Structure 1
Amino acid sequence: MLVSLVLFLPPHPDIMCKGHIVKCRVYNPHPPLHEYHRSGDLIIGAVASYNFMFSFSIDFSEDPPAPMPLGLGVVPKNYQHIAALEFAVKEINENSQLLPNVTLGFHVYDSYFNAKSTYHATILLSSTLERFVPNYNCDLQNNLIAIIGGLDSPISLNVATVLDIYKTPQLIYGAAPVMNDKTPGLPFYQLVSKEALQNEGILSLLLHFHWTWIGVVYMDNKNGERFVQTVVPMFSQRGICFAFIERLPTIHFIMEILGSLEDASEICDRIMKSKANVLIAYGESYAVAFFRWMPLLKATPKGKVYIATTQVEHTAFIFQRNWDTEIFHGSLTFTLHSSELPGFLQFLEKKNPLSIKGDGFIHDFWKQVFECEFLNSDPVEVDVNFCTGEEKLESLPGEFFERRMSGHSYSIYNAAYAVAHALHAMYSSRHKHRATVNRERLELKNQQGWQMHQFLKDVAFNNSAGDKVSFNHNGEIAAGLDIINWIVFKNHSFHREKVGWMDPQAPRDQAFTINEDAIIWDSSFNEIRPLSLCTESCHPGFSKSVIEGEPFCCYDCIPCPEGKISNQMDLNDCYKCPDEYYPNQNRDSCIPKEVVFLSYEEHLGFGLAFMSIFFSCVTALVLGIFMKYHNTPIVKANNRSLTYTLLISLLLCFLCTLLFIGHPVKLTCLLRQTAFGIIFSVAVSCVLAKTITVVVAFMATRPGSRMRKWVGKRLANSIVLSCSLIQVGICSVWLATSPPFPGLDKHSVIDKIVLECNEGSVVMFYYVLGYTCFLAIICFTVAFLARKLPDSFNEAKFITFSMLVFCSVWLSFVPTYLSTKGKYMVAVEIFSILASSAGLLACIFSPKCYIMVLRPELNNKEHLMTRKG
């Protein structure tokens, strides 16, 4: 005995009060299986609960059973599935080219959304109609060929469990059951795309609109668990986070309703408090009817974009007639692809309970959707409306009945034609000669369902809408998915607009198509694209910084560090510009760098060049004065040739700085450092020679001194030559191994590309500079020790001051040079050369020039030889 408890609720929203039921009663506790029989040579049997499954069978019965009453807990919109099957059978029977001389009929049974009724109905299809004897058929009027069904995968799996015994083919027009080691290995034929295509479509939709903070609500069953286990890692890899994943409780008994509604109320709370504006709804075909409880449990969760999967239909239970439906306005649904069938609308307009016999569903469907009673019904209240049978289906809200063909109805239509074409191919292959009608009927009776498989696999035809229908080697149809935008009006009617699709035959990167301009969003979004983010997007110039303990979609926005930019929204990290570019002030774009070098046109280069020429002229003037007073005692006193060599080397030192200014070329790069090093070494060597000469000269004046043989030009020349040759050797090794060359410095200065002379070997550069400083330190030490020698004109004092200036300049040069960048490094070196050379010139030669020009009376031998105590 089949026992079914159906909840009866008045069609008014005031039945809910703070999430608790005020009234309820049990209605029709023992509902029989509802049936719809249409006789014919071929019978399409079906199991339904407004969750229909259909089957093909051989049946020659003529008097169908009387219609049975239907309980109130139904989904009336699914009645269109019966209409689609009836329409397909009608077209097949009227087509003389398909199954000629054969009339097609059908059987429809109700499964009541439960396994027990589904098993019962499926066994009825394979048994004698008048007598329910499982696995026994005592006549030849019900020879099962194939089954179409069901709408939800649990129903299809229950059917497959029975059909596996008989190897009868099953054509599934809804979600396919997941077959594993514990489920039957029955080959079934799938009229819908794989769920993987739908998951890819949802992911593409989220990425297109940059919705990275979403919620998921699913029904508590194995399919829902599998969906969550599939999409969570898949979506997370593409940067999408889940604000919440809520499992809706499944109601099995009426006493569970109160507890389930309390759980649902808590779920509504979490949905309302979440910042996620996008909600993915996964469930069975009747899931929307359960989602519609939310406005009654809590405040209406508006401001959300609902993304529903293919199984979720926009449906309602009868008692939800006046309930708010605007929460689904602007929602997006992935639906099975469907096309408008010629003549289907006119077929629906002619349907009424007065013209159809054997339909056990239409009377109860009619009574519930039009809120009326037929005259031959059970006693009813006096003020009730009576059904005339002339009510118009087009006046019904879409949640109860749609005239536009749904994706599931379209799949049923194609399934009916697929079986018809397979049967036609099977009979055509066995009829080598013309047979009589009676013989054909006899052969029909002897056909078995398992024989259909090889013909179903090869089915290929174009339906009346022009769409091609065929199965691949896995028994799957290459059907795409439509993306529907639901536009709900205040009168509970709605319009569905196709705004995109998923094409399984297109390349992966082209499978998803969306027309954003055609989408109508919920009014709370002010007709602009909704946002669903855990954190506001990071603008260009900023990067994301993940907050510890939060999902990676929740982050802080931090400015890009110096030298880096971000030119897009929500970048995980800033990046450096190419070497030829640098970040702008906002650090959101790259600007081309300016190529610079120390040129004569700029003030710094011009000033340094002017100083170089000025000191060169001063040095030349000093040289001229010394040459004019060539034979005076003060010029003769300290080796005239050494003095002239020092002045000429200082002149060249001033002029060599000009090699550092201007556009670097290969020749200037080779000469600038080596020429400076050698010339400076000669100058310092001359000063060292003058210092040593002074010391030797005073030591030679002592009685019995052996130093007299060293007095003269020979010692001085040897010192200058030997010290200079060492520097020449160092520079030669430098030029031979790693010479300087013109180069670009792209990194020292952020916004400039410095055209410079690359030193080639930095080590050799510091060897050259270090050797010169080494000579200067020796010279300074010797001069310092000889500064107090008794003489009226002791040159060692002036050499000490000159070397003090020289060493101070070059000791300051090293840290200053290393701390500057770009062309200013060149300027620092030029300044150091000028300053140290000017120090030598001033400290050594200015006292002598003063005597020769302004105090000529002091320029005599007596004065120079006078010793001071």
Structure 2
Amino acid sequence: MNLQNYQHLFAFYFAIEEINENIEILPNITLGFHIEDSCCHTGVSLCSVLSILSEEEDPVPGYSCHQQGWVSGFIGSLSSDTSHEIARITGIYRFPQISYGAMDTLFNDRVEFPSFYRTVPNDYSQFQGLIQLLNLFRWTWVGILTSEDESDQRGSEELKREIIRSGSCVDFLETMPLAFILTPEDFKRLKLTVYKVSKSLATVIIIYSTTSDFAQQFCFPWWQEIAGKQWLFSAAISSYTGIPSPDNIPVCSTLNGSLQFSIHKGKIPGFKDFLHNLHPATFPDPSVLNPLWNILFQCALTYGIEYLNLSDCTGKENLSNISPWQFDVNNFQFTYSIYTAVYALAHALHNMYTAKSQHGGNHTLEFQPWQLNQYIKEVHFKTSDGHEIFFEDTGNVPAHYDIENWVMESNDYVSSISVGKFNSIASGSQQLFVDQSAILWNPSFNQTPRSMCSENCVPGYRKVLQRQKPVCCFDCIPCSEGEFSNNADAENCMKCPDDQWPSEKKDECLPRVIDFLSYGDLLGVFLASIAILFFIITDVVLGIFIKYRDTPIVKANNRDLSYILLLSLMLSFLCFLLFIGRPGRVTCLLQQVAFGIIFTIAVSSVLAKTVTIIIAFNATKPNSKLRKWVGTRVSSSLVLLCSLGEVLICIAWLLIAPPFPENDTQSEPGKMILQCNEGSTIAFYSVIGYMGFLALLSFIVAFLARKLPDSFNEAQFITFSMLVFCSVWVSFIPAYLSTKGKYMVAVEIFAILASSAGLLGCIFFPKCYIILIRPDLNTKRHLIGKQYSKKAK
């Protein structure tokens, strides 16, 4: 005996009686009914439908012998399989069929099932609710158990596809036998399923079945041996809420803490009183109640055509004292849906009756079966508890689910707690509501269960899928340098903006450290101090040469070229002002250009000095044609001509690809180096190369003139100065290329300072020594005497 099925029967009968007593619905028309037991068998269902249509005990297809009234529609069935078989027959005649339990998505096909309706949500809406619940708790790795029923297997496969489509994964989908008495083969297969479930990393197991008593399978001992699993039941499965555990099945402690998507259980006003006052004498067919009374009251009923003998059941004929009915009568699933199904059909009949009356038709309900479908589609009313009933284009009602938490009571009863709702017609995130604080999990969990193949990747890491495994199985690897992730389970790391850099944990971006050679750096202060010191020294040397400009040693070395060289050295020492500090557009344009032109003037002056020495020495020879070239005009022209070449290179550089300020975020992690980009590397090295060419030419000329008489000879000092100059700039190139950021700038400043200091020291310090320390050597007589002594040798 299935107490739930009896309650469905009573809910159906109660709805019929209520409509017949309601003068506002179908006045003067009485609804009758014909009930056939499908026995959960498709073949029996087919025979039952034909029996109802033909009104014959031995049904004859296409034959009707109704003595009173006629069939207007069919209510049922509970399962999808039997509903499908019923629809195959009723669909031929276009009889409307309203199921109160079939949730299979195949009935959404209006071409195949144009006159099929249901007052329970279709499975697709349940799938969406289940997926939202999985997402809410972040259950990404689940298992599915289903029965051998064809509809169950079809629905479970669709559920699996929807879960995968949502981004979660299914570890397994296993089929279990329906029978309680198992064959050896069934038992072997079941044990393998139990083993697979117990070893799975999936904590959440979805039990999907349209068989109402499928949950009883999990009361057997082998399931109770499995701990640490969270069971999630589909809507069609009946819970044990309000029903004691059957005598032949152990207490279902396994189900303690389970969750279920339950079809909305609306309240049926007056139904509880109706059940408590139910009596065989008032029921149309007392034989229907005989098995129920026999089991509940332990007494037998005898009934005939004209009398009902209740002598054996005296004092026990009322259901109000029977413990199963003392609980909430609305707690059974599908009771409310069968109640609303009858009301929906009655409203459609009423609307059709009203329409016929308004058009002057007779008051009898003579119609073809297919005519009622249009009125069923237009049904829209509110039940007494405020629940709206209407059918969508697919013949479905909007999905309303209760989310229930099964809790084992101390008296071996399973009670349910409503912990949430799902409403398909709500918008977005408002569809699902769950009161997580109200959920009582199984005692094996001390917190909300976790169900995932791999632990979440924390911010700063990204997911890398494991080979040949679902997308929910992955490894977590740190983000690459320069990248971050600020969300859990990030599939890709992101790059920070150019002015930012990932934190140490790579879970956020922090402002980069701005780096450039500034006066606040110790290195900048040191270089600036050295440059200023040499600037002062050069200025002092220039002052000495100006003061002693009429002395022989100053005059003998072309004092105009000396002044030009000293001034260019002073400016070269001041070039550091363009290299130290925050780079800007103007400073970047002037840095290399000013340095190149100033240094070219200095090197050109040295070259002019060397050439002047050679011309002056050779001009003293008899009949020399070089005498007309002796003078400042030639040396000045040479300086101007050599410098002009560098100026042209710099102008071309500025016009074609000028230097510009650049933020270098690649050279050093976590830093943004402010620097000047040369714009054209070729132009930069052309400037350096041209200076190097002049320096090398000066070195060669000075080296060849090193043995000339001392009175005119600066060649030895120039040779050493050019050797220092060339050594510095040859070393500069690899050092410059191997450094980055402010150290690259420091290398160039050091090269400028070193080469300038080399020129200053090698060319001018010996002369200053003579001028200041040995003035006795700074006389014309000494120079002439030294010259003649050289010639005598």
TM-score of the superposed pair, with normalisation by structure 2:
0.89
Task: Output the CA distance in 1 between the equivalents of 2:576 and 2:26.
Answer: 105
Q: Could you tell me which of 392, 398, 409 is aligned with 1:478?
A: 398
Matched, 1:189 2:112: no
* C-alpha distance 298-785 of structure 1, shift in aligned 2 (>3 A): farther
* 1:515, distance to aligned residue in structure 2 (A): 2.9
Give per-residue Cα distances to partners, 1:353-385, cap 9 Å, x unaligned: 6764525554434555x5x632459xxxxxxx9
* 1:325, distance to aligned residue in structure 2 (A): 1.8
Matched, 1:280 2:202: no
Task: Output the CA distance in 1 between the equivalents of 2:736 and 2:293.
Answer: 96
The answer to whether the 8 A contact 1:727-1:771 is kept is yes
* C-alpha distance 614-156 of structure 1, shift in aligned 2 (>3 A): same
* 1:336, distance to aligned residue in structure 2 (A): 2.4
* C-alpha distance 234-390 of structure 1, shift in aligned 2 (>3 A): closer
Task: Output the CA distance in 2 between the equivalents of 1:296 and 1:496.
Answer: 22
* Matching residue of 2:493: 574
Q: Could you tell me which of 641, 652, 672 is aligned with 2:591?
A: 672
The answer to whether the 8 A contact 2:277-2:320 is kept is no
Q: Could you tell me which of 417, 421, 424 is aligned with 1:504?
A: 424
* 1:241, distance to aligned residue in structure 2 (A): 1.8
* 1:508, distance to aligned residue in structure 2 (A): 4.0
* C-alpha distance 546-289 of structure 1, shift in aligned 2 (>3 A): closer
* C-alpha distance 320-847 of structure 1, shift in aligned 2 (>3 A): farther
Task: Output the CA distance in 1 between the equivalents of 2:211 and 2:5.
Answer: 9
Task: Output the CA distance in 1 between the equivalents of 2:184 and 2:292.
Answer: 28
Give per-residue Cα distances to partners, 1:787-827, cap 9 Å, x unaligned: 45575885333323322322332233334334433333333
Q: Aligned ranges for residues 8-87 of structure 1 at < 5 Å?
A: 75-87=2-14
Matched, 1:310 2:238: no
The answer to whether the 8 A contact 2:293-2:299 is kept is no
Task: Output the CA distance in 2 between the equivalents of 1:111 and 1:773.
Answer: 106
* C-alpha distance 197-785 of structure 1, shift in aligned 2 (>3 A): farther
* C-alpha distance 704-242 of structure 1, shift in aligned 2 (>3 A): farther
* C-alpha distance 237-789 of structure 1, shift in aligned 2 (>3 A): farther
The answer to whether the 8 A contact 1:151-1:285 is kept is no
* Matching residue of 2:16: 89
Matched, 1:248 2:176: yes
Partner secondary structure for residue 214 of structure 1: strand
The answer to whether the 8 A contact 1:595-1:752 is kept is yes
Task: Output the CA distance in 2 between the equivalents of 1:503 and 1:407.
Answer: 17
* C-alpha distance 365-267 of structure 1, shift in aligned 2 (>3 A): farther
Matched, 1:420 2:346: yes
Q: Could you tell me which of 785, 797, 805 is aligned with 2:716?
A: 797
Aligned length: 776
* C-alpha distance 818-529 of structure 1, shift in aligned 2 (>3 A): farther
Matched, 1:863 2:786: yes
Give per-residue Cα distances to partners, 1:387-415, cap 9 Å, x unaligned: 944565773399xx862344522111111
* Matching residue of 2:155: 227
Q: What amino acid maps onto 2:212 in structure 1?
A: Y
Partner secondary structure for residue 275 of structure 2: helix
The answer to whether the 8 A contact 1:201-1:502 is kept is yes
Q: Aligned ranges for residues 548-627 of structure 1 at < 5 Å?
A: 548-627=467-546
Task: Output the CA distance in 1 between the equivalents of 2:382 and 2:506.
Answer: 59
Matched, 1:154 2:73: no
Partner secondary structure for residue 749 of structure 2: helix
* Matching residue of 1:495: 415
Partner secondary structure for residue 126 of structure 1: helix
Partner secondary structure for residue 728 of structure 1: helix
* 1:210, distance to aligned residue in structure 2 (A): 1.5
Partner secondary structure for residue 513 of structure 1: strand
* C-alpha distance 174-139 of structure 1, shift in aligned 2 (>3 A): closer
Structure 2, unaligned stretches of length 5 or more?
303-312
Partner secondary structure for residue 175 of structure 2: strand
* C-alpha distance 367-827 of structure 1, shift in aligned 2 (>3 A): farther
Q: What amino acid maps onto 1:114 in structure 2?
A: H
* Matching residue of 2:306: none
Task: Output the CA distance in 1 between the equivalents of 2:459 and 2:130.
Answer: 28
* C-alpha distance 213-649 of structure 1, shift in aligned 2 (>3 A): same
Give per-residue Cα distances to partners, 1:183-238, cap 9 Å, x unaligned: 95452112223322222222222222211111112223443443344344443343
Give per-residue Cα distances to partners, 1:442-501, cap 9 Å, x unaligned: x45x55433322221222211111112122333322243332232333433233333333
Q: Could you tell me which of 837, 844, 853 is aligned with 2:772?
A: 853
* Matching residue of 2:266: 339
Q: Could you tell me which of 379, 383, 388 is aligned with 1:468?
A: 388
* 1:697, distance to aligned residue in structure 2 (A): 4.6
* 1:181, distance to aligned residue in structure 2 (A): 9.6
* Matching residue of 1:16: none
* C-alpha distance 769-338 of structure 1, shift in aligned 2 (>3 A): farther
Please provide the CA RMSD for this pair: 3.4
* C-alpha distance 787-242 of structure 1, shift in aligned 2 (>3 A): farther
Q: What amino acid maps onto 2:605 in structure 1?
A: C
Partner secondary structure for residue 107 of structure 1: coil
Q: What amino acid maps onto 1:284 in structure 2?
A: T
Task: Output the CA distance in 1 between the equivalents of 2:445 and 2:343.
Answer: 44
* 1:685, distance to aligned residue in structure 2 (A): 1.1
TM-score of the superposed pair, with normalisation by structure 1:
0.82
* C-alpha distance 495-180 of structure 1, shift in aligned 2 (>3 A): closer
Give per-residue Cα distances to partners, 1:687-720, cap 9 Å, x unaligned: 2222333444555567776555544434322221
Q: Could you tell me which of 258, 265, 269 is aligned with 2:184?
A: 258
The answer to whether the 8 A contact 1:308-1:332 is kept is yes
Task: Output the CA distance in 1 between the equivalents of 2:543 and 2:720.
Answer: 24
Task: Output the CA distance in 2 between the equivalents of 1:182 and 1:657.
Answer: 86
* C-alpha distance 131-246 of structure 1, shift in aligned 2 (>3 A): closer
Q: What amino acid maps onto 1:244 in structure 2?
A: F
* Matching residue of 1:125: 52
Task: Output the CA distance in 2 between the equivalents of 1:433 and 1:770.
Answer: 107
Q: Aligned ranges for residues 747-758 of structure 1 at < 5 Å?
A: 747-758=666-677
Q: Which has the higher helix share?
A: 2
Q: What amino acid maps onto 1:841 in structure 2?
A: L
* Matching residue of 1:297: 222
Task: Output the CA distance in 2 between the equivalents of 1:287 and 1:671.
Answer: 89
* C-alpha distance 298-452 of structure 1, shift in aligned 2 (>3 A): closer
Q: Aligned ranges for residues 692-771 of structure 1 at < 5 Å?
A: 692-697=611-616, 709-742=628-661, 744-771=663-690
Give per-residue Cα distances to partners, 1:575-595, cap 9 Å, x unaligned: 221222211222222112344
* Matching residue of 2:702: 783
Task: Output the CA distance in 1 between the equivalents of 2:119 and 2:346.
Answer: 15
Task: Output the CA distance in 2 between the equivalents of 1:76 and 1:282.
Answer: 22
* C-alpha distance 104-811 of structure 1, shift in aligned 2 (>3 A): same
Partner secondary structure for residue 143 of structure 1: coil
The answer to whether the 8 A contact 2:293-2:301 is kept is no
* Matching residue of 2:298: 373
Q: What amino acid maps onto 1:101 in structure 2?
A: N
Partner secondary structure for residue 735 of structure 2: helix
Q: Could you tell me which of 601, 624, 633 is aligned with 2:552?
A: 633
Moved more, 418-427 or 173-182: 173-182
The answer to whether the 8 A contact 1:373-1:387 is kept is no
Q: What amino acid maps onto 1:124 in structure 2?
A: S
Give per-residue Cα distances to partners, 1:710-745, cap 9 Å, x unaligned: 444343222211111111222223334444445544
